[in-house]
Amino acid sequence: EVQLVESGGGLVQPGGSLRLSCAASGFAFSNHVMNWVRQAPGKGLEWVSSLTGNGENTYYADSVKGRFTISRDNSKSTVHLQMNSLRAEDTAVYYCVRRSWPWGPFDIWGQGTMVTVSS
């Protein structure tokens, strides 16, 4: 079964850091661009970051550039999102998402992990 399972969410103070992880299974992980998409409470979807299969090319939304870092370990089929200098507006459910072919649509989504930034 193709599956993505996120972990690492929680409550963090403004200015703090958090590292999200996503464990993939059931597919050739290194062949796919992996992504993070977030959804603030009651709001729509926002793309956050993407990373190519070989780990060489990264892409970020302007809202997180310079604060978030995406990385992957193809030997463990995992992708991470290191989030620093967190702000209240980063509060959201963070989804780990696979692109269906190198630059295709988002075809597989994890269940999401909640990040709350609050004092």
Residues that bind another protein (CB under 8 A): 44-47, 50, 59, 61-62, 95, 100, 103-107, 109-112
Q: Length of the chain in residues, anyone?
A: 119
Complex with another protein: residue 80 or 110, whichever CB lies closer:
110
For residue 18, the minimal CB distance to another protein (Å) is 20
- Report d(CA 117, CA 119) in Å as an integer: 7
CB 113 within 8 A of CB 94: yes
For residue 90, the minimal CB distance to another protein (Å) is 16
Q: Which two tokens stand for residue 64?
A: 């997180």
For residue 86, the minimal CB distance to another protein (Å) is 20
- Report d(CA 61, CA 49) in Å as an integer: 6
Complex with another protein: residue 42 or 119, whichever CB lies closer:
42
